[in-house]
Amino acid sequence: PKEIFLKDYKKPDYLFDTVDLEFQLGDEKTMVTSKIAVSPGNEAGTSSPLALHGCDLKLLSIKINGTELKSDKYTVDPRHLTILTPPAGVFNMEIVTEIYPQLNTSLEGLYRSTGNFCTQCEAEGFRKITYFQDRPDVMAKYTCRIEGDKTLYPVLLSNGNLIEQGDLEGGKHYALWEDPFKKPCYLFALVAGQLECREDSFVTCSGRKVTLRIWTPAQDLPKTSHAMYSLKEAMKWDEEVFGLEYDLDLFNIVVVPDFNMGAMENKSLNVFQSRLVLASPEAATDGDYAAILGVIGHEYFHNWTGNRVTCRDWFQLTLKEGLTVFRDQEFSSDLGCRTVKRIADVSKLRSYQFPQDAGPMAHPIRPLSYIKMDNFYTGQLLFLGAEVVRMYKTMFGASGFRKGMDLYFQRHDGQAVTCEDFYAAMCDANNAHLPNFLQWYSQAGTPTVKVTSSYDEGSQAFSLKLSQEVPPTPGQPMKEPMFIPVAVGLVDSTGKDMPLTSIYSDGRVQTLSNDGHPIFTTVLQFKKNEEEFIFNNVPERPVPSLLRGYSAPIRLDSDLTESDLYFLLANDSDEFNRWEAGQILARKLMFSLVADFQQQKTLALNTKFVDGLRAILRSTSLDKEFIAKAITLPGQGEIMDMMSIADPDAVHAVRTFIKKELAFQLKDDLLAAVTSNRSSEAYAFNHDSVARRALKNTCLAYLASLNEPDVTELALNEYKCATNMTEQFAALAALSQNPGQVREDALLDFYNKWQQDYLVVSKWFALQATSDIPGNVANVQKLLAHPAFDMRNPNKVYSLIGGFCGSPVSFHAKDGSGYKFLGEVVLQLDKINPQVASRMVSAFSRWRRYDETRQALAKAQLEMIISANGLSENVYEIALKSLA
């Protein structure tokens, strides 16, 4: 396998100006003809060989300027077709290849999903369709002619506008599409098959009427209304917030059951896996509705951030992904509840990015090298990338951020650019310089910021001393300090924010005011290893509210006492920090109980913690979804991640203990919350209803954990009476916490009810896979043989196998059975779909975090995997780095 390095980037020697593709779709084979207008890539002209990428292609012919190229004029190997001496200047090239989509189980390139044809080209899948310079800085205008059987493939779609269609002999027909915008080949798409559409329209701010179509198999059409709503909201939002208007007359979304990722932003022809489009109240949960809104938004927003302005090379992936994730987060916040969304996003960062960045797969958001780019669509790159974009907004404010975005598009529309270009646009538009900020792109590892505070009554000065440390990561032993924006407020003894008047740092005093109005939160620009910030005119010792809204993606280690934290939990005006205070208290509690558990002491819950949560639960002023989040304990992964030797058994035992104890002590309040949050209204996806259900479901799960007859009865009743999937599934999940007949019966009943709906069946798999009941490895093994399971469908694999790996007690079972299970599955999967297999094998990457017995067992599986014959590059890269 060949490693590709950022430092080796070179501009392409040849440019492609236009690309005309022709597909003759067939059941046995598909013929692809590609006609390319080539021009020299640098001013001096070139005579160097033209190397084209290619994979699993059968070459039928090459012509240059209309003449067949003789076989001594080119070379072919399994990865390339190289034209040895291309003509000088501009020339035409025509390449004909044959491919076999029906045999393509990797789901990249052109493949079949339930009979229909569909493509996935990002990152490097276009080379499975035809020989090409498969790199994002080669941007061309495309046409695409598709020819196929009219009965089998009545719908023929590609990017851009449909400019011609008609019937052909032999029951065939064709369609010709033209995309007026230049694009890299990873944004090319083709879909053909038996699909129907929901059609709607949107009038843009300049009055352009855009036809919107969502394509699915006919029976699923009724389930596309929420997706259509989401699309229209996204189009409106991007105009309002960023002034970005859609640029074609047609926007298509296609739903396919078999898809490696969530969705793909191909120009004007987005492709989605079913789960992220199809929804009905009976069969989809609030979580599904929210995910659909976010991902429909995400892919649509890529039209500007990714498509109109794209990446120079794949190392710059975060340029489009970090920015677009940030945009979809903001979109969802504006349409829902900002604090709750922020909590969810920060939790995701902590559970995916932090652990990865503390392990062998740590990499900066702009990686330095890769073997398979697909392995780098990680939490670091997406979620940390979004945090980096968010920091610009924190520094420049909403209007400064908008100015930066405007300048970015003004400078780079139609180009393939780098992260520095984005940084430069942001800084130039704001006349600013952010020292050390670019380190966020090149240094891996999560910085830890220590904060100590002191108050001097005499001078009425409150000081915060900050120090930062970025841990060593593979290949980066030494780190530079980062630019860290720390949003701070000071809370007085009555729980109110103090007005902040002036601050002393860097040897100067800065007056804080907002056009004469007092300010209550300020952003400290922390950019050295150590720095002190002194607030003046502080009349009493405050409790500092640090890192408000989670203003930087760091680990904060402050000297706040437990009573400070309880105080913030009860009073902070920054709701995010109220939640955070509760989480810090819960973490402290969990750590001390883990120590007790390891020393075989009896576990006991401190009453202050119970009282703190009770007060939150009883609040009538707090948002209900916020309450649900605030009474939820940090996940097991988050706690294990912070231990010197991760102990899944202890963490599991402690979390279960706290949950049950809270349920026991808060039983009356929890019951009241369940009953008072029932509703007989028809399902609606709006914040109030979602919040109500979230609180009710969280409380029900607590109660059912008690496994007492009255609460089991209650949960059963909720299950039976539920009129929507959100409540039905939550009740099922609540019941299935406890092994036994009730659990088995409920699971069976649910399956019988829903066996016709593969998306609901996937949930059913996931619920069992993530279960922590004893001996769950055997259950999951059994489910692998269930008739509804299919190793070729990524969604089912993510639900069952991915779900299982996310359940620490079972996956890390001390006898190694979980590891053995995964090892075997990875090898099977790798033969079918390397991208999916490599996502699964990542579960092993943090094996060194566990005790010696577990280390040995996990390592043995990794060694078994890496020595297997015919291993894919995808899995090889992860296994290799994990073992390094």
> By CB under 6 A, is residue 93 in contact with ligand B3K?
no
> By CB under 5 A, is residue 636 in contact with Zn ion?
no
Residue closer to ligand B3K by CB (options 371, 617) is: 371
Residues 306-345 that bind Zn ion (CB under 5 A): 321, 324
For the beta carbon of residue 399, count every other beta carbon within 10 angstroms. 9
Give the span between the Cα atoms of 106 and 765, in whole angstroms: 22
Helices 385-412, 419-429: crossing angle, 10 deg rounding: 80
Which residue, among 200, 108, 116, has the nearest Cα to 155 in the 3D structure? 116
> By CB under 6 A, is residue 134 in contact with ligand B3K?
no
The stretch among 257-265, 402-410, 599-607, 616-624 that binds ligand B3K (CB under 6 A) is: 257-265
The stretch among 261-269, 435-443, 556-564, 673-681 that binds ligand B3K (CB under 6 A) is: 261-269
Residue with tokens 């009979």: 115
> By CB under 6 A, is residue 328 in contact with ligand B3K?
no
Residue closer to Zn ion by CB (options 192, 381) is: 381
Q: Is 531 a catalytic residue?
A: no
Residue closer to Zn ion by CB (options 270, 324) is: 324
Strand partners, 534: 463, 504
Exposure b/e, 120-156, CB count within 10 A at least 16 = b: bbbbbbbbbbbbbbbbbbbbbbbbbbbbbbeebbebb
Q: How far is the CB of 101 from Zn ion (least distance, A)?
A: 25
Binding marks (x or -) toward ligand B3K, 439..478, rule CB under 6 A?
----------------------------------------
Residues 6 or more apart whose Cβ sits within 8 Å of residue 601: none
> By CB under 6 A, is residue 265 in contact with ligand B3K?
yes
Q: How far is the CB of 545 from Zn ion (least distance, A)?
A: 33
Q: Which of 122, 233, 299, 718 is catalytic?
A: 299
Name which position in 264, 419, 791, 825 contacts ligand B3K (CB under 6 A). Answer: 264
Distances (CA, A) of 702 to 591, 653, 668, 716: 21, 15, 12, 14
Q: Which does 264 bind (CB under 5 to 8 A by kind): Zn ion, ligand B3K, none?
A: ligand B3K
Residue pair 213/276 in contact (Cβ under 8 Å)? The answer is no
One-letter amino acid of 425? A
Q: How far is the CB of 270 from ligand B3K (least distance, A)?
A: 9
CA-only gyration radius of the chain, Å: 28
Name which position in 93, 234, 263, 857 contacts ligand B3K (CB under 6 A). Answer: 263
Q: How far is the CB of 275 from ligand B3K (least distance, A)?
A: 14
Residue closer to ligand B3K by CB (options 370, 597) is: 370
Name which position in 51, 261, 269, 395 contacts ligand B3K (CB under 6 A). Answer: 261
For ligand B3K (CB under 6 A), the number of binding residues is 12
List helix spans (H) across 666-704.
667-676, 687-704
The stretch among 42-50, 258-266, 346-354, 802-810 that binds ligand B3K (CB under 6 A) is: 258-266
Residues 6 or more apart whose Cβ sits within 8 Å of residue 272: 253, 254, 255, 256, 259, 262, 263, 264, 295, 296, 299
Residue closer to ligand B3K by CB (options 297, 823) is: 297
Which residue, among 278, 268, 270, 257, has the nearest Cα to 112 in the 3D structure? 257
Q: Which does 377 bind (CB under 5 to 8 A by kind): ligand B3K, Zn ion, none?
A: ligand B3K
Which residue, among 224, 308, 307, has the nearest Cα to 272 in the 3D structure? 224
Q: How far is the CB of 321 from Zn ion (least distance, A)?
A: 5
Strand 263-264 and strand 269-273: the pairing is: antiparallel
Name which position in 20, 258, 299, 313 contacts ligand B3K (CB under 6 A). Answer: 299
CA torsion, ordered 166, 172, 178, 182, to nearest 10 deg: 180
Give the span between the Cα atoms of 472 and 308, in whole angstroms: 37
Residues 364-383 that bind ligand B3K (CB under 6 A): 374, 377
Residues 781-810 that bind Zn ion (CB under 5 A): none
Residue pair 389/426 in contact (Cβ under 8 Å)? The answer is no
Residue closer to ligand B3K by CB (options 12, 262) is: 262
Residue closer to Zn ion by CB (options 384, 466) is: 384
Which residues of this protein are in contact with ligand B3K, per CB under 6 A?
122-123, 261-265, 298-299, 321, 374, 377
Q: Catalytic site residues?
A: 299
Which residues of this protein are in contact with Zn ion, per CB under 5 A?
321, 324
